[in-house]
Amino acid sequence: MTNSPANPGTKAPRIIIAPDSYKGTATAAQAAQYLGEGVLEVMPDASITLAPMADGGEGTSAVFGGQVITLPTTNAAGRLTEASYTFEQHSHTAYIDIAAASGLPAVADNPVPTTGDTYGTGVLIADAVTRGATRIVLGLGGSATTDAGSGILIALGAVPRNKEGYALRTGGADLINLDYIDTAELNIPAAAVEWILLTDVDAPATGPQGAATVFGPQKGATAKDIALLDASLHHAYTQLEIDGTKPGMGAAGGIAIGLTWLSTLMHGTDAHIHILPGAPLIANSNGIADALPETDLLISGEGRLDAQSFTGKVVGTLHDLAKAHNVDLAVAAGVIEEGIPGDFLAVEMIKSSDVAAQLRDAGRRIAEAYLAQN
């Protein structure tokens, strides 16, 4: 969406609209469009750039260009489902959200904290490689699993086994019995890809800030489950000789553990696997960081604005960028909690089942507040 000033002699406000997705109601692209429509009702001369955002969580794949591939796979509980990813043929890159196949919403009514696995995501990865992908970008947010990526490994032909040689049961709990990984049927092209893991958290694999302790409860884990999963992840990365203390190792239930082992097996080092904060990378790739010096107002948004929004999420990343470039920031959120910084405009959306109306209204109110201050 771009708009030219009605009066050539006046300077059009330059606005970037860069929301995250509003889970279950609007994609980031839809949210940006609706917010922009609301802004233009109040500021018809504004020059608007839409730059949908993500942070490695749900909706990350959709912000990248390419062909959308949809295929049958399995969810975290092993039930048949369909999931989509984005394949960019020119760069041989597949953009895959862990949440697409292995996400929490599909099993929210019957969580599988100790037995859920990422096999369905591995199916998407294997499919992408058959289409020519040599780089896999995984958005790690929103998983229902704590399996150290073992489900992905199994889908790619690497089978975790116990000391008796039996395949482990699915999920993270049985990793406590991991002895070795059988690679006799390994999918070599898939195992050898370049991995880019986009995180929305910097948690280590285990401990008080680890995958099981922090994220286990939202996946349905009891205190007993959490203790077992934490011990299982620790055993797994120790057995595989992986540094589980690195920031991001705890994202998506420790997926980086299994994938780091796999990539190191193929290449001799971990140089072909990269664990990166998702939001800054996307802000660079979609041009926000470069455009901010020439921007008057940056508008973002997400479903819930709270203290966690400033720990590697979209809003926190854009908040830092806006401050660095002295650009006004506004955020449209469904719910605004206490404890957030007070140096930007936060607009709570009206209550409605019509998300387009909610976001247009928020865009109008942001524009009115901006004009009142300028």
Arithmetic mean of pLDDT, 56-61: 88
Whether residues 148 and 267 fall in one domain: yes
Whether residues 142 and 240 fall in one domain: yes
Whether residues 40 and 157 fall in one domain: no
The reported pLDDT for the residue numbered 308 is: 85
Residue range(s) defining the domain that contains residue 329? 14-53+295-373
CA–CA separation, 10 and 312 (whole Å): 38
Whether residues 75 and 46 fall in one domain: no
Residues 273-292: tens digit of each pLDDT = 999 999 999 999 889 999 99
Answer whether residue 289 is part of any domain: no
Q: Which of 254, 279, 304 is the C-terminal boundary of a domain?
A: 279
Arithmetic mean of pLDDT, 315-325: 96
- Whether the predicted pLDDT of 4 surpasses 50: no
Spatial CA neighbour of 48 closest among 369, 363, 374: 363
Q: Which of 224, 252, 279 is the C-terminal boundary of a domain?
A: 279
Contacts by 241-244, CB closer than 8 A, 24 or more apart? 244/204, 244/205, 244/206
Whether residues 68 and 201 fall in one domain: yes
Answer whether residue 202 is part of any domain: yes
CA–CA separation, 192 and 179 (whole Å): 23
Confidence (pTM):
0.89
Report how far apart the first and last C-alpha atoms of the chain are (Å, whole number).
23
- Whether the predicted pLDDT of 13 surpasses 90: yes
Query: Directed axis angle between helix 314-324 and helix 278-285, to 10°?
Result: 60
Whether residues 23 and 49 fall in one domain: yes
CATH of the domain at 196: 3.90.1510.10
Residues 65-100: tens digit of each pLDDT = 899 999 999 999 999 999 999 999 999 999 999 999
pLDDT band at 23 (very low <50, low <70, confident <90, very high): confident
CATH of the domain at 323: 3.40.50.10350
Could you identify the residue written with the tokens 């959709």?
62
| Domains identified in the chain, total number | 2
**Taking phi first (over 0 means left), then psi (-120 to 50 degrees means alpha), and beta for anything else, what does residue 288 get?**
alpha
Answer whether residue 98 is part of any domain: yes
pLDDT band at 142 (very low <50, low <70, confident <90, very high): very high
Answer whether residue 2 is part of any domain: no
- Whether the predicted pLDDT of 264 surpasses 60: yes
The reported pLDDT for the residue numbered 9 is: 42
Whether residues 48 and 175 fall in one domain: no
